[in-house]
Structure 1
Amino acid sequence: MPSNATSTSTHAPTTPADLFRHGLRLLLEKDIDAWLGLWAEDGVMEFPFAPEGWPRRLEGRAAVAAYMRDYPDHIDLHDFPDVTIHQTTDPGTIVVEMRAVGRLVQTDSPYDMTYVAVVTVRDDRITAYRDYWNPLAVQDPAADFVGSAR
Protein backbone atom coordinates (compact mmCIF):
# COMPACT_ATOMS: atom_id res chain seq x y z
CA MET A 1 0.00 0.00 0.00
CA PRO A 2 1.43 3.47 -0.84
CA SER A 3 2.51 5.50 2.17
CA ASN A 4 -0.19 8.11 1.59
CA ALA A 5 -3.03 5.59 1.25
CA THR A 6 -5.36 4.84 4.12
CA SER A 7 -6.97 1.54 4.88
CA THR A 8 -10.36 1.76 6.56
CA SER A 9 -9.51 -1.23 8.74
CA THR A 10 -6.12 -0.02 10.00
CA HIS A 11 -6.16 3.78 10.14
CA ALA A 12 -5.98 5.56 13.45
CA PRO A 13 -9.11 7.36 14.59
CA THR A 14 -9.18 11.02 13.69
CA THR A 15 -10.06 13.65 16.26
CA PRO A 16 -12.97 15.91 15.34
CA ALA A 17 -10.55 18.87 15.25
CA ASP A 18 -8.18 17.07 12.87
CA LEU A 19 -11.06 16.02 10.63
CA PHE A 20 -12.40 19.56 10.56
CA ARG A 21 -8.99 21.05 9.70
CA HIS A 22 -8.60 18.48 6.93
CA GLY A 23 -12.01 19.53 5.61
CA LEU A 24 -10.89 23.16 5.48
CA ARG A 25 -7.85 22.15 3.42
CA LEU A 26 -10.09 20.24 1.02
CA LEU A 27 -12.33 23.30 0.61
CA LEU A 28 -9.30 25.46 -0.17
CA GLU A 29 -8.23 22.85 -2.74
CA LYS A 30 -11.78 22.96 -4.14
CA ASP A 31 -12.02 19.18 -3.72
CA ILE A 32 -15.71 19.04 -2.88
CA ASP A 33 -15.94 15.28 -3.53
CA ALA A 34 -13.24 14.55 -0.95
CA TRP A 35 -14.89 17.02 1.47
CA LEU A 36 -18.18 15.16 1.04
CA GLY A 37 -16.32 11.95 1.81
CA LEU A 38 -15.85 13.26 5.35
CA TRP A 39 -19.62 13.10 5.89
CA ALA A 40 -21.66 10.24 7.32
CA GLU A 41 -24.31 8.96 4.94
CA ASP A 42 -27.01 10.31 7.27
CA GLY A 43 -25.15 13.50 8.29
CA VAL A 44 -27.19 16.65 8.87
CA MET A 45 -26.17 20.24 8.03
CA GLU A 46 -28.17 23.07 9.58
CA PHE A 47 -28.21 26.85 9.12
CA PRO A 48 -30.22 28.30 12.03
CA PHE A 49 -29.85 31.89 10.75
CA ALA A 50 -30.62 31.23 7.08
CA PRO A 51 -32.90 33.88 5.64
CA GLU A 52 -36.28 33.14 4.11
CA GLY A 53 -35.98 31.06 0.94
CA TRP A 54 -32.60 29.54 1.81
CA PRO A 55 -32.28 26.01 3.20
CA ARG A 56 -32.21 25.66 6.96
CA ARG A 57 -31.61 21.89 7.15
CA LEU A 58 -30.01 19.38 4.81
CA GLU A 59 -30.52 15.74 5.71
CA GLY A 60 -28.08 13.15 4.41
CA ARG A 61 -24.81 13.27 2.48
CA ALA A 62 -26.69 13.41 -0.83
CA ALA A 63 -28.49 16.61 0.22
CA VAL A 64 -25.22 18.16 1.43
CA ALA A 65 -23.61 17.12 -1.88
CA ALA A 66 -26.34 18.77 -3.94
CA TYR A 67 -25.96 21.93 -1.86
CA MET A 68 -22.15 22.09 -2.08
CA ARG A 69 -21.49 20.68 -5.55
CA ASP A 70 -21.07 24.05 -7.29
CA TYR A 71 -19.51 25.88 -4.35
CA PRO A 72 -16.17 26.64 -6.13
CA ASP A 73 -18.09 28.21 -9.03
CA HIS A 74 -19.50 30.80 -6.62
CA ILE A 75 -16.93 31.35 -3.89
CA ASP A 76 -13.19 31.18 -4.47
CA LEU A 77 -11.79 30.58 -0.99
CA HIS A 78 -8.22 31.75 -0.43
CA ASP A 79 -7.67 31.14 3.26
CA PHE A 80 -9.09 30.47 6.70
CA PRO A 81 -6.82 32.92 8.56
CA ASP A 82 -8.51 32.61 11.94
CA VAL A 83 -9.60 29.19 13.19
CA THR A 84 -10.17 28.44 16.86
CA ILE A 85 -11.49 25.02 17.84
CA HIS A 86 -13.04 24.45 21.26
CA GLN A 87 -13.53 20.97 22.69
CA THR A 88 -16.85 20.33 24.43
CA THR A 89 -17.71 17.88 27.19
CA ASP A 90 -18.72 15.48 24.40
CA PRO A 91 -15.44 14.23 22.87
CA GLY A 92 -17.13 13.93 19.47
CA THR A 93 -18.38 17.53 19.38
CA ILE A 94 -16.37 20.69 18.76
CA VAL A 95 -17.27 24.35 18.48
CA VAL A 96 -15.35 26.21 15.78
CA GLU A 97 -14.88 29.95 15.42
CA MET A 98 -13.43 30.78 12.02
CA ARG A 99 -13.03 33.35 9.31
CA ALA A 100 -13.01 32.59 5.59
CA VAL A 101 -11.59 34.97 3.00
CA GLY A 102 -11.61 34.87 -0.77
CA ARG A 103 -13.69 36.33 -3.56
CA LEU A 104 -17.16 35.98 -5.02
CA VAL A 105 -16.60 34.54 -8.48
CA GLN A 106 -19.52 36.21 -10.28
CA THR A 107 -18.69 39.75 -9.17
CA ASP A 108 -15.00 39.38 -8.27
CA SER A 109 -15.82 41.14 -4.98
CA PRO A 110 -14.05 40.24 -1.75
CA TYR A 111 -15.50 37.52 0.45
CA ASP A 112 -14.80 37.82 4.17
CA MET A 113 -17.12 35.93 6.50
CA THR A 114 -16.92 34.81 10.12
CA TYR A 115 -18.63 31.65 11.28
CA VAL A 116 -19.35 29.70 14.42
CA ALA A 117 -20.02 26.02 13.80
CA VAL A 118 -20.99 23.19 16.10
CA VAL A 119 -19.69 19.97 14.56
CA THR A 120 -20.25 16.40 15.72
CA VAL A 121 -18.11 13.52 14.47
CA ARG A 122 -18.79 9.83 14.99
CA ASP A 123 -16.70 7.01 13.51
CA ASP A 124 -14.46 9.54 11.72
CA ARG A 125 -17.38 11.08 9.80
CA ILE A 126 -19.29 14.33 10.26
CA THR A 127 -22.76 13.49 11.54
CA ALA A 128 -23.95 17.00 12.40
CA TYR A 129 -22.80 20.47 11.34
CA ARG A 130 -24.69 23.51 12.65
CA ASP A 131 -23.43 26.61 10.84
CA TYR A 132 -24.10 29.93 12.57
CA TRP A 133 -23.17 32.54 9.97
CA ASN A 134 -24.50 36.05 9.54
CA PRO A 135 -26.42 36.50 6.28
CA LEU A 136 -26.62 40.26 6.98
CA ALA A 137 -22.83 40.46 6.53
CA VAL A 138 -23.26 39.79 2.82
CA GLN A 139 -23.92 43.15 1.20
CA ASP A 140 -23.67 42.09 -2.46
CA PRO A 141 -27.08 41.00 -3.85
CA ALA A 142 -25.25 38.84 -6.41
CA ALA A 143 -23.89 36.85 -3.48
CA ASP A 144 -27.08 34.88 -2.88
CA PHE A 145 -25.07 31.71 -3.16
CA VAL A 146 -23.11 32.60 -0.02
CA GLY A 147 -26.05 31.60 2.11
CA SER A 148 -26.94 28.61 0.01
CA ALA A 149 -23.51 26.98 0.10
CA ARG A 150 -20.76 27.42 2.55
Structure 2
Amino acid sequence: MTMTTRPADLFRQGLRLLLDKDITAWVDLWDDAGVLEFPFAPEGWPKRLEGKAAVLDYLRHYPEHIDLHDFPDLEIHETTDPGRIVVEMRGVGLLVETGAPFDLTYVAVVTVADGLITHYRDYWNPLVVSPGGAADFTRSSR
Protein backbone atom coordinates (compact mmCIF):
# COMPACT_ATOMS: atom_id res chain seq x y z
CA MET A 1 0.00 0.00 0.00
CA THR A 2 1.20 3.48 -0.79
CA MET A 3 1.91 6.04 1.93
CA THR A 4 0.29 8.78 -0.18
CA THR A 5 -3.32 9.22 0.83
CA ARG A 6 -4.37 12.59 -0.62
CA PRO A 7 -6.09 11.88 -3.95
CA ALA A 8 -4.20 14.67 -5.77
CA ASP A 9 -0.82 13.38 -4.53
CA LEU A 10 -1.70 9.80 -5.41
CA PHE A 11 -2.80 10.89 -8.88
CA ARG A 12 0.45 12.81 -9.50
CA GLN A 13 2.42 9.77 -8.31
CA GLY A 14 0.48 7.67 -10.82
CA LEU A 15 1.32 10.05 -13.67
CA ARG A 16 5.03 9.75 -12.84
CA LEU A 17 4.72 5.96 -12.99
CA LEU A 18 2.94 6.14 -16.36
CA LEU A 19 5.73 8.37 -17.72
CA ASP A 20 8.22 5.79 -16.40
CA LYS A 21 6.17 3.16 -18.28
CA ASP A 22 5.74 1.21 -15.06
CA ILE A 23 2.18 -0.03 -15.53
CA THR A 24 2.51 -2.64 -12.77
CA ALA A 25 3.49 0.02 -10.22
CA TRP A 26 0.64 2.25 -11.45
CA VAL A 27 -1.84 -0.57 -10.93
CA ASP A 28 -0.34 -1.15 -7.46
CA LEU A 29 -1.89 2.23 -6.56
CA TRP A 30 -5.30 0.57 -6.98
CA ASP A 31 -7.53 -1.17 -4.47
CA ASP A 32 -7.98 -4.88 -5.30
CA ALA A 33 -11.66 -4.23 -6.09
CA GLY A 34 -11.04 -0.94 -7.93
CA VAL A 35 -13.21 -0.08 -10.93
CA LEU A 36 -12.03 1.64 -14.13
CA GLU A 37 -14.79 2.99 -16.36
CA PHE A 38 -14.73 4.47 -19.87
CA PRO A 39 -18.17 6.08 -20.33
CA PHE A 40 -17.40 7.19 -23.92
CA ALA A 41 -15.75 3.96 -25.08
CA PRO A 42 -16.64 3.09 -28.67
CA GLU A 43 -18.30 -0.15 -29.68
CA GLY A 44 -16.02 -3.12 -29.08
CA TRP A 45 -14.03 -1.44 -26.31
CA PRO A 46 -14.62 -2.19 -22.64
CA LYS A 47 -16.78 0.27 -20.76
CA ARG A 48 -16.00 -1.10 -17.29
CA LEU A 49 -13.13 -3.06 -15.76
CA GLU A 50 -13.63 -4.53 -12.30
CA GLY A 51 -10.68 -5.36 -10.09
CA LYS A 52 -7.00 -4.59 -10.08
CA ALA A 53 -6.16 -7.67 -12.17
CA ALA A 54 -8.54 -6.59 -14.95
CA VAL A 55 -7.04 -3.09 -14.99
CA LEU A 56 -3.53 -4.53 -15.26
CA ASP A 57 -4.55 -6.95 -18.01
CA TYR A 58 -6.14 -4.14 -20.00
CA LEU A 59 -3.24 -1.66 -19.69
CA ARG A 60 -0.18 -3.90 -19.57
CA HIS A 61 0.62 -3.31 -23.28
CA TYR A 62 0.06 0.45 -23.22
CA PRO A 63 3.80 1.38 -23.34
CA GLU A 64 4.26 -0.83 -26.40
CA HIS A 65 1.86 1.40 -28.32
CA ILE A 66 2.04 4.86 -26.72
CA ASP A 67 5.33 6.45 -25.65
CA LEU A 68 4.10 9.07 -23.18
CA HIS A 69 6.43 12.03 -22.71
CA ASP A 70 4.45 14.47 -20.57
CA PHE A 71 1.12 15.47 -19.07
CA PRO A 72 0.99 19.21 -19.79
CA ASP A 73 -2.03 21.26 -18.86
CA LEU A 74 -2.68 19.23 -15.70
CA GLU A 75 -5.43 20.65 -13.50
CA ILE A 76 -6.62 18.76 -10.43
CA HIS A 77 -9.86 19.96 -8.90
CA GLU A 78 -10.74 19.02 -5.33
CA THR A 79 -14.42 18.33 -4.66
CA THR A 80 -16.65 18.50 -1.60
CA ASP A 81 -15.84 14.80 -1.12
CA PRO A 82 -12.26 14.71 0.26
CA GLY A 83 -11.72 11.32 -1.40
CA ARG A 84 -12.67 12.47 -4.91
CA ILE A 85 -10.92 14.66 -7.47
CA VAL A 86 -11.73 15.76 -10.99
CA VAL A 87 -8.73 15.94 -13.30
CA GLU A 88 -8.30 17.74 -16.61
CA MET A 89 -5.12 16.81 -18.44
CA ARG A 90 -3.44 16.25 -21.73
CA GLY A 91 -1.17 13.31 -22.52
CA VAL A 92 1.47 13.86 -25.20
CA GLY A 93 4.07 11.60 -26.72
CA LEU A 94 4.54 9.38 -29.74
CA LEU A 95 2.78 6.40 -31.24
CA VAL A 96 5.43 3.67 -31.04
CA GLU A 97 4.53 1.89 -34.27
CA THR A 98 4.59 4.95 -36.52
CA GLY A 99 6.45 7.64 -34.59
CA ALA A 100 3.46 9.94 -35.14
CA PRO A 101 2.61 12.45 -32.41
CA PHE A 102 0.16 11.39 -29.71
CA ASP A 103 -1.88 14.18 -28.11
CA LEU A 104 -5.04 13.33 -26.18
CA THR A 105 -7.10 15.34 -23.72
CA TYR A 106 -8.70 13.58 -20.77
CA VAL A 107 -11.10 14.34 -17.97
CA ALA A 108 -11.06 11.86 -15.10
CA VAL A 109 -13.09 11.50 -11.94
CA VAL A 110 -11.01 9.61 -9.40
CA THR A 111 -12.04 8.28 -6.00
CA VAL A 112 -9.48 7.24 -3.38
CA ALA A 113 -10.02 5.42 -0.09
CA ASP A 114 -7.36 4.26 2.37
CA GLY A 115 -4.62 5.55 0.06
CA LEU A 116 -5.71 3.52 -2.98
CA ILE A 117 -7.72 4.23 -6.12
CA THR A 118 -11.15 2.66 -5.78
CA HIS A 119 -12.89 4.18 -8.79
CA TYR A 120 -11.60 5.91 -11.92
CA ARG A 121 -13.90 7.23 -14.66
CA ASP A 122 -11.87 8.14 -17.73
CA TYR A 123 -13.63 10.50 -20.13
CA TRP A 124 -11.42 10.39 -23.22
CA ASN A 125 -12.32 11.28 -26.78
CA PRO A 126 -13.26 8.12 -28.72
CA LEU A 127 -13.02 10.02 -32.02
CA VAL A 128 -9.22 9.83 -31.70
CA VAL A 129 -9.28 6.06 -32.09
CA SER A 130 -10.64 3.76 -34.70
CA PRO A 131 -10.78 -0.05 -34.65
CA GLY A 132 -7.21 -1.17 -35.17
CA GLY A 133 -6.12 2.46 -35.45
CA ALA A 134 -2.83 3.93 -34.26
CA ALA A 135 -4.11 4.78 -30.81
CA ASP A 136 -5.68 1.35 -30.32
CA PHE A 137 -3.14 0.42 -27.62
CA THR A 138 -5.15 -2.55 -26.38
CA ARG A 139 -5.39 -4.48 -29.63
CA SER A 140 -2.81 -7.01 -28.48
CA SER A 141 -4.84 -7.76 -25.36
CA ARG A 142 -8.35 -7.93 -26.82
TM-score (norm 2): 0.91
Structure 1 unpaired stretches of 5+: 1-7
Residue 97 of structure 2 is aligned with which of 99, 106, 109? 106
Q: Secondary structure at the match of 2:64?
A: helix
1:47 Cα deviation (Å)? 0.1
- Indicate if the aligned counterparts of 1:54 and 1:148 stay in contact, CA closer than 8 A: no
Residue aligning to 1:79? 70
Q: Which amino acid aligns with 2:47?
A: R
- Indicate if the aligned counterparts of 2:5 and 2:116 stay in contact, CA closer than 8 A: no
Residue aligning to 2:135? 143
Instruction: Report the structure number with the largest CA radius of gyration.
Output: 1
Residue aligning to 2:12? 21
- Indicate if the aligned counterparts of 2:128 and 2:135 stay in contact, CA closer than 8 A: no
- Indicate if the aligned counterparts of 1:94 and 1:120 stay in contact, CA closer than 8 A: yes
Residue 96 of structure 1 is aligned with which of 84, 87, 95? 87
- Indicate if the aligned counterparts of 2:4 and 2:10 stay in contact, CA closer than 8 A: no
1:13 Cα deviation (Å)? 5.0
Residue aligning to 2:110? 119
% identical aligned pairs? 69
| Number of residue-to-residue matches in the alignment | 140
Structure 2 unpaired stretches of 5+: none
**Matches of residues 43-54 of structure 1 in structure 2 within 5 Å?**
43-54=34-45
In 2, the alpha carbon distance for the partners of 1:130 and 1:148 equals 23
In 2, the alpha carbon distance for the partners of 1:145 and 1:13 equals 29
TM-score (norm 1): 0.86
* Greater relative CO (CA pairs within 8 A, separation 6+): 2
Residue aligning to 1:4? none
Q: Secondary structure at the match of 1:81?
A: coil
Moved over 6 A (4+): 146-149
- Indicate if the aligned counterparts of 1:117 and 1:129 stay in contact, CA closer than 8 A: yes
1:108 Cα deviation (Å)? 1.2
- Indicate if the aligned counterparts of 2:3 and 2:115 stay in contact, CA closer than 8 A: no
In 1, the alpha carbon distance for the partners of 2:106 and 2:61 equals 20
- Indicate if the aligned counterparts of 1:50 and 1:147 stay in contact, CA closer than 8 A: no
| C-alpha distance 17-141 of structure 1, shift in aligned 2 (>3 A) | same
